[in-house]
Chain A
Amino acid sequence: MSKNAHPRRRFLRAASGAALAPLAGCGGRSGPWRFFTAEEAEAVIALCEQIIPADEDPGATEAGVIHYIDRHLTGHFRRWQPVYRRGLAELDRLCRQQHGERFARLPFARQTAVLEGLTGEGKEFFNLVVEHAMQGFYGDPRHGGNRDAVSWRMLGVPLVPVRGRQHYDLTGSGGGA
């Protein structure tokens, strides 16, 4: 299924992106993010794309995985705020030291090499991002990631039916699907 076969979906995606714009500056936020700074967000997007890269199917960026992480860092993941803040700063410090540029600005292959070389706390932080990225990519779109259910489409899993119980035929046996 070609992505271009769904112009309406692309329109909706663009529209939902645009809808974020008026939020900038509201409630003391300086960007579209609840938790991340603009620079942190770039790093998280790059990290997630490393974890689930785009190929013939969308990757973490197109799935909006960062929206999942950003949203839950101000909710259920609140206690990991300092871990993200410190972890991202450390990662950029390491990259600047070794390659003269922050993580998001490095070429893809070099980013991969950096991540493969992590040890200790850096690796622990990355493992946490891996966990969250997988949730954001493969989990239910209602939680902010897996935009347009891209991962479920990739796996060929039917989407959650939006229907009330009155729409089920409840008179027969449970034999069929």
Chain B
Amino acid sequence: MKHVNAVIVGAGAGGGIVAKELAEAGFSVVVLERGRWLTAYDCRKDDLRNQRTTVLGNGTGPDDERHPRVVVELDGRERIVRPSEPGYNNNAACVGGGTLTYGAMAWRFMERDFRMRSSYGCPEGSTLEDWPVSYQDLEPYYEKAEYELGVSGDVTPDPFHAPRRKPLPMPPLSPTREHEILKPAAERLGWHPFDIPMLRNSVPYGGRPACMRCRWCVGFVCEVNAKNGTQNTVLPRALATGHCELRTECVAKEILVDARGRATGVAYFDARDRLQTQTADLVVVSCAAIESARLLLNSKSRLFPNGIGNRYDWVGRNLQGHSYCGAVGLFEQVTYDDVGPGASIAICDFNHGNPGLRGGAMLANEFIRLPYQFLGRMPPEVPRWGKAHKDFVRQFYRRSIMVQGPVQEMPVFDARVELDPKVKDYWGIPVARLSGRKHPHTLEICRFIAERAEAWLKQAGAIRTWKRIPGPGLSGGQHQAGTCRMGNDPKSSVVDRYCRVHEMENVYVVDGSVHVTNGGFNPVLTIMALAYWASEHLVREWRGRRGRG
């Protein structure tokens, strides 16, 4: 197989951008993606089989048959979990990764999100730390992501947003009924509501049309291509250069390392399960926090017996997602207008500066709940079955609003990804084994944020409200992060500030794995900004050094 300059494992938020940046700079690139290139026609508005609701399987992979994981419960029990089951902490396995089906909120982190330890001090039992990069470092790359992929919204009414040079490239979508109910209520509370920035076209942009406002948004592939992921923006541009080849249904086995400790390429199983080797000058790992850690840990060699980047046992540590919490309110009036995507209005009044708490969360109204999803949003006193259950659904399906937010978690060293010593996947590769729990302070923040959500709904006229607070178990899922921490000290981190693995000259991790902390926001725009930041460095470092390819 022809040698290339770069092999990228994973065609999601991070890998897609690196592919485009390197290919446009003239590098020869191969992208290995374990999933397929799915379109709206492979995932047709199926409310029981999509990225979010998986009772009949994962809509965008991975399949249940070949990709098990092991989960260690809080009581120490171990169980083998299939990808569509709770606890697996799935993201997706397809071209575009999570960006194919996400809700597409496009948040920039705030300045303090990069300085959590120096802002608040580290609580006992946490590995809370500052990032080795600042918001100012990343600002131009946030902007680049917003403009190259396309973001709509309006953050100007939000006094808390970090300084930015340019406005968002597209205006917000018109407000929904929920938006119109919640906005004056927030203002009466003295808060600062605004239109959520979203990687979604509100007007034609990038050669693709505007959102048609359907209710099958989060969890689904956009039928009209108005949702901007890497699969319909940067990846096509990477392929158009003629320097980039995307190989789908290719499962990476390990990163290969020579006797001098340099990576030589990636061993992988192709779509017909044949073991292949792709040699390259440099290797970029972009498989999301759980699978990226697994790939590094599986890359054992004489020089790196514990896996790549793992000399000091930091690979797989600090697994975090977001502790989603909030409240649901029932209303006398009809709140449902069937205008997608649903999520529309947010506040950032409680991301920072909450008394006695380290950080907080953005709060926003939730995406449209499809009828089956609504059953998971019912108050505890309603019976689980029978006429009373049906009466409740009938009465309140169109009269409820849910407000929630992603609480920034206190990283925990023992919340982690390891290799399971026994269980292997279909190809014989040791699988990820997940264990750990949330830090107690994270749950304190959740209680505070849920109260704010409840207060908002009450102010909006809700006749009954109840809070939703997560349990103490591990979180990861779509927002998984933290397992290959970025830092200046090789003894307490995995990659440097440009996403290069400390002890390796030519291995980079570019995805949420490198996040030191995960912000009180959906993390994707930060993953994208980091991918542009790391790519610029990669091009600068490697332009003169790369081999023939």
Closest approach, in angstroms, between the C-beta of A20 and any C-beta of chain B? 22
Cβ-based interface call for A76 (8 A): yes
A18 interface residue per 8 A CB criterion: no
Asked if B394 CB lies within 8 Å of chain A CBs, one says yes
Question: Do B224 and A155 touch (CB < 8 A)?
Answer: no
Complex CA distance for A139 and B56, rounded to whole angstroms: 11
**B504 interface residue, CB < 8 Å from A?**
no
B330 to chain A, nearest CB (A): 15
- Cβ of B152 to closest chain A Cβ, rounded Å: 8
Interface 1/0s, chain A 161-174, versus B by CB < 8 A?
00001001011111
Encoded as 1 (CB less than 8 Å from any B CB) or 0, chain A from 65 to 77 comes to: 0000000100010
Contacts of A90 in B (CB 8 A): none
Interface residues of B in 368-389 (CB under 8 A from A): 371-372, 374-375, 384-387, 389
Chain B 178-213 residues near chain A, CB threshold 8 A: 200-204, 209-213
Q: What's the minimum C-beta distance from A66 to chain B, rounded to whole angstroms? A: 16
Report the minimal beta-carbon distance from A157 to chain B, rounded to whole angstroms.
6
What are the residues of chain A within 8 A of B138 when measuring CB–CB?
none
Partner of A155, one of B56, B201, B394: B394
- Chain A residues with Cβ below 8 Å from B319 are none
Residues 113-150 of chain A, each 1 if its beta carbon lies under 8 Å from chain B, else 0: 00000000000000100110111001110110000000
Nearest residue, chain B, Cβ from A164: B223
What residues of chain B lie closer than 8 Å to A157, measured between beta carbons? 338, 371, 397
Report yes or no: A171 in contact with B398, Cβ–Cβ below 8 A. no
Give the chain B neighbours of A156 by CB distance below 8 A: 398
| A170:B372 contact, CB within 8 angstroms | no
Interface of B is mostly: loop
What class of interface size applies to chain A in its complex with B? 35 or more
Kindly state the separation between the CA atoms of A171 and B201 in the bound complex, as whole angstroms. Answer: 12
| Alpha-carbon distance A143/B203, docked complex (angstroms) | 35
* 8 Å CB contact of A175 from B173, B209, B384, B385: B173
Do residues A135 and B55 form an inter-chain contact, with CB atoms below 8 A? Answer: yes
B210 adjacent to A139 (CB under 8 Å) = no
Check A30 for interface membership: any CB of B closer than 8 A. no
Q: Which of B57, B210, B385 contacts A174 (CB 8 A)?
A: B210
Question: Which interface residue of B40, B46, B200, B386 has the most chain A CB atoms within 10 A?
Answer: B386
A and B contact pairs by CB, cutoff 8 A, 23 listed: A50-B385, A50-B386, A59-B390, A130-B384, A134-B372, A134-B375, A135-B56, A135-B372, A140-B45, A140-B46, A140-B47, A143-B56, A152-B371, A155-B393, A156-B398, A157-B371, A165-B223, A172-B210, A173-B202, A173-B210, A174-B174, A174-B212, A174-B213
